Homo-oligomer: A and B are copies of this chain.
Amino acid sequence: MYGELIKYVKDAGVLASVGELLGWDYEVTMPRGASSLREMEMSLVASLRHKMLTDPRIGELLAKIDAGSLSEPEQANVREIRRNYDRALRIPVSLVEKSASLSIRAHEAWQKARATNDFPLFLPFLEQFVEIKRAMALAIGGKEEPYQTLLSEYEPDIRLAELEVFFKEIERSIVPLVEAIAKREVPDTGILKRHVGISKQMKYNRGLAQRLGYDFKKGRLDTAVHPFTGCFGRITTRFADGWAGTISSTVHESGHGMYEHNLPEEHFGTPLGSYRSLGVHESQSRLWENHVGKSLAFWRGEYPRLRKAYAPILDDLSPEAFYRLINVVAPGFIRVNADELTYSLHIALRFEIEKALVCGSLRAKDVPEAWNEGMRRSLGIVPPSDALGCLQDSHWTDGSFGYFPTYTYGSAIAAQLMEAATRSIPSLENEIGSVEVAELNVWLKENIHRHGCRYSTEELVTRATGDVPNPRAYIDYLNRKFRALYSV
C-alpha cells in the first residue's frame, strides 16, 4: 500500500520537474515569440499535476495505511504526503490554472513596466494576484489569517507571530549598526565595476562553482535576467551587476544547486527526496554566498586565482582590501545589489507590504507610496522611481506572497549552521581551502541535504545545531563581522 502511494506521488513529482524545465527554458533559452505556447504548456502541466495530487486514490491509500507497519522515514513521508494532499484538495483547480496562465502575462507586463517605470501598467496584475492569492488562502486555510496560510506554502511550520518578532529583533540590532557605519568612510568600489569580458567571467565562475563542489555532471551554469536555480539544480548568474556581483550570484546559486543535487535520488519526487522549505533552501545559498563567498577565510586561498583570471585589474589589490570591497555597507535601492548587512532591511520592507496587501490594509495602488515611505524609515533613502523601487523584484509577478521572508529566515539558519559547522571543522574560521570546502559539503549533506523532508524545519535545524531556528547567531555574526570591518 505504501508502494502504491509512493508511485502516485512520484508521478506528480516527476511532472513537477517537467514544469521546472518549462520554467527554466522560459527564463534561460526561450525566444519571446513562443510565450503564448509556453503559457498553454505551463497551465496544462499545472492542472495535470493538481489532478494527480488530488487523485482520490491517494486519499483512499492514506486512509487505509497502517503507520505502525512503516519505518520512521516512511512514516515521515506519509506525514508530508498527507499534509500536501489535504492542502491540495482545498485549492480549486480553476484558481491554479488562472494563476499559472496569468503569471506569464504578468511577468511580461512587469518587464515592460520596470523598463519604462510604469507602475500603472503592472498594477492590474498585482491586483488580480492579491485577489487570487487571498482566495487561495481562504480555500486552504479557512479561518486562518490568509497571509499565515501563504507563508506556510513556503515555510510549513513557521508562525506569523514568531516571524514578526524575528524581524523586529533583527531590525532592532541592524538599523543602529547601519546608521553607525553610515558615518564611516566608504572605500571606493570602482574596481568592482571595471570591465571583464563575458567569456572570461563565465570561465572563472564555472571553475569557482566547481571548486565549491557544484556538480557540472548534473547541472549547468547559464545566465538569466534574475538568477535562479531550477530544473534539477541548474544554476544561473548575470553580468548586470559587475563582475563581483556575478561571482556573488554564482556562489549563491551554487549553494541552492548543491542542495538539489544532494537530495537522496532514490526518493526523487516524494517528500523524502525534496527540499525541506524555502527557508532551508535559502540557508544553503546564503551560507555559501556570505559565510564562504564573502569571508576573508575563503578569499585568502581563492584570491590568487581570481587575480590571475581577471588580470590586470586586481594586480594592485590585496586579498584583505578585496574582502573590504565586497563587504562595503551602503544603503541602496536595489535588494539584489544590497550588501549583506542591509539586505534584511529590504526583506523586512517587503514582508510588511505583502502582509498588508494580503490582509487588505493596503491597496495595490498604494504600494509605491508605502514602499518609498518604508525605505526612508529603515534605510534613510527614497528611490527616485518605481523601477528602482517597488517594481524591482519579480516575486509578485506570479503572486508569490509569503516568499520574501524566507530569505531572512534562511539567512538566520545559515548563521546557525555555520556556527555549528565551525564547531565540527574549526579551521573554517581561518581558512576555507579545498579541504575545508570538501568537509563543509560533507557536513551539510550529512546534516541537511540527505534528510529531504524527513524532519520539520525546526527539528532539522535543532538536530544540526542544537537550537531551534532563531536570529541570535545571525545577529551575532553580523555584529562581529561588520563591527570589526568598520571599527564601530
Residues of A within 8 A of B (CB): 11, 14-15, 17-18, 21-22, 25, 29, 31-34, 36-37, 40-41, 44-45, 48, 215-220, 232, 234, 265, 268-269
A268 touches B232 (CB 8 A): no
Chain A interface main SS type: helix
Q: Judging by beta carbons under 8 Å apart, are B37 and A268 in contact?
A: yes
Return chain B residues, CB-CB under 8 Å to A232.
34, 37
By the criterion CB–CB under 8 Å, are A18 and B45 in contact?
yes
A11 to B25, alpha carbons, bound, how many Å?
Answer: 20
Given A14-B40, A40-B268, list of 18 further CB < 8 A pairs?
Answer: A11-B44, A15-B48, A17-B37, A18-B44, A18-B45, A21-B25, A25-B25, A31-B217, A31-B218, A31-B220, A32-B217, A33-B215, A33-B217, A34-B218, A34-B232, A37-B232, A40-B269, A48-B48
Q: How many copies does the complex hold?
A: 2
- 21 A–B contacts from the bound complex (CB under 8 Å): A11-B44, A14-B37, A14-B44, A17-B41, A18-B41, A18-B45, A21-B22, A25-B25, A29-B29, A31-B216, A31-B217, A31-B220, A31-B234, A32-B217, A33-B217, A33-B218, A33-B219, A34-B219, A36-B265, A37-B268, A48-B48
What chain B residues lie within 8 Å of A269 (beta carbons)? 40
Q: Which B residue's beta carbon lies closest to that of A24?
A: B25
Query: A143 to chain B: closest CB distance in Å?
Result: 36
A21: chain B residues at CB < 8 Å are 21-22, 25, 41
CB distance from A244 to the nearest CB of B (A): 26
Residues of chain B lying within 8 A (CB to CB) of residue A45: 18
With the chains together, A48 CA to B33 CA distance in Å? 27
